[in-house]
Structures are given as structure tokens and as C-alpha cells.
Amino acid sequence: MTVIEINGLQKSYKTHRVLEDVTLKVEKGEIFGILGPNGAGKTTAVECMSGLRKPDGGTLRVLGLDPQTQRAELLQRIGTQLQEAALPDAIKVAEALRLYASFYDEPADWRALMDEWGLTEKRRARFGSLSGGWKQRLFIALALVGNPEVVFLDELTTGLDPAARRMTWGLIRDMRDRGVTVVLVTHFMDEAEALCDRIAIIDRGQVVHEGTPGELISKGHTNSLDDAYFALTERTVS
């Protein structure tokens, strides 16, 4: 079942055309990676999918809904990773989960979620006192508190130490195993190779390559996604 269908998506900021013509499909229950260089338009595309930005052209459906005209309904069914600035430093872990659960008509049991994601021991800790890894864990739990069918994660593991990244990968796989569709923007090729069922590489506002990690590696005639990415996008390391 297709959960996200985008055709010819266009978006400009004033005169700067960021998305030229993005076309892609995301299927239910997959981890779908979006890769591409800085400024390629990855975040803009994800923001259009979650209704945060209004596209200038093309068609876009998420769970069969138009993110612009049916945003309220869509927000009840998707989860979006918060940016760090979205939470006040003084809020406690349990308070944040309870607060975000209150935004949804049919939220998950936030106490059970807190437990499942290992956050109970930190329930009285203030957000500002958490390390990066614990903050990410809380962001994942908050993205799931509305019982979403689709979750958007944008550079979730940036800034994490290797152990925290690995732990976060496990959490993302757990999400998929519960049937949640995950859209993951990342700059880490090892992460994309380890986690993603399918990947779209966006460059200069278009999907330039799409496929499973294995398909992209074969297409690039390389042995790793990292090498394939450079071969396929013809970018050189300066």
C-alpha cells in the first residue's frame, strides 16, 4: 500500500527554486531514506509532506490526504521529530510526553511508551539536563505518542556518539517492526545502508536515483552505499 505519493513537487523560496520536480512513492511499513547534499531540498520536501510548507506545484498525498487542505486530519496520523528548540529546558520528560499525548484524539498510552523506550528512569529529568542520546530517545517517543502511521525523522542521529547512534538505529527498526512507516533524512551512508528499505537521492531539487541500498550499490558499480553515492551523484570529496 502506498502511503506517500508525490508527483512533480515544486517549491521556491522567493526566486530560489529549491524543489524542481520531486516524484516519489513510499510504501507502508518501510524505512524510506532521503539522501542528498546540503541544500538539495530534503528538509523542504519533508516539510511539504508533513504540511509545514505549502508546495507551489505538483501533487502530494500522505495517507491519501492533502497535507495543505487536510492538515488537521493528517497531523493526527503522523509523527514528526521535533527540533531541539521546540521543548523548553525546564520541562520534565514525563510532562513532555503527557503534554504531547494531549494533542491527539487517540494517543498512545504515554506511560507505557515512556517505559518501552527506556525513559522511565529519566521521567523527572528536565529536558535541558539530558544528553544528546536521551534527547533523541525522547524525540522518538514524542514522535510516536500520537500512535502515528507515518513518522518523519530529519537528521535524527546527527551529533550522537557511535553507541547512541547504534541504539537509535535499533529504536527506528523497532518502529518499523510495529508497522510504522518511517521517512528518514540522513547524511550518514552507513546509517542509510543499515536501516533503509529504499532510498531516494535528491539533488538540485529532483530525485536523481531511487532504489534499495543494494540496487544503488549495483547501479554505482561499487561495494558500499558511501561509494555508490559519490559515483551516482558524481561528486568529489574536496
Ligand X SMILES: Nc1ncnc2c1ncn2[C@@H]1O[C@H](COP(=O)(O)OP(=O)(O)OP(=O)(O)O)[C@@H](O)[C@H]1O
Binding site for ligand X (CB under 6 A): 13, 18, 36, 38-44
**Range 2-27 burial, b when 16+ CB lie within 10 A, else e:** ebbebeebbbeeeeeebbbebebebe
In the complex with ligand X, the residue whose CB is nearer, 39 or 214, is 39
Q: What is Dmax (Cα atoms) for the chain?
A: 51
In the complex with ligand X, the residue whose CB is nearer, 42 or 77, is 42
Q: How far is the CB of 50 from ligand X (least distance, A)?
A: 13
Task: With beta carbons less than 8 A apart as the criterion, state whether 108 and 101 touch.
Answer: yes
In the complex with ligand X, the residue whose CB is nearer, 110 or 188, is 188
What is the distance between the alpha carbons of residues 148 and 64, in angstroms, rounded to a whole number? Answer: 14
Q: How far is the CB of 205 from ligand X (least distance, A)?
A: 8
Q: How far is the CB of 106 from ligand X (least distance, A)?
A: 31
Q: Which is nearest to 76 in space by CA: 96, 102, 97, 98?
A: 102
Q: How far is the CB of 152 from ligand X (least distance, A)?
A: 12
Q: Which is nearest to 195 in space by CA: 32, 27, 36?
A: 32
Q: How far is the CB of 33 from ligand X (least distance, A)?
A: 13
DSSP code of residue 127: G
As to burial, measured by CB atoms within 10 angstroms (0-12 exposed, 13-18 middle, 19+ buried), residue 162 is exposed
Is the sign of the CA dihedral 189, 192, 195, 199 positive or negative?
Answer: negative
What is the distance between the alpha carbons of residues 180 and 183, in angstroms, rounded to a whole number? Answer: 10
In the complex with ligand X, the residue whose CB is nearer, 45 or 142, is 45
Q: How far is the CB of 116 from ligand X (least distance, A)?
A: 30
In the complex with ligand X, the residue whose CB is nearer, 44 or 181, is 44
In the complex with ligand X, the residue whose CB is nearer, 195 or 201, is 201
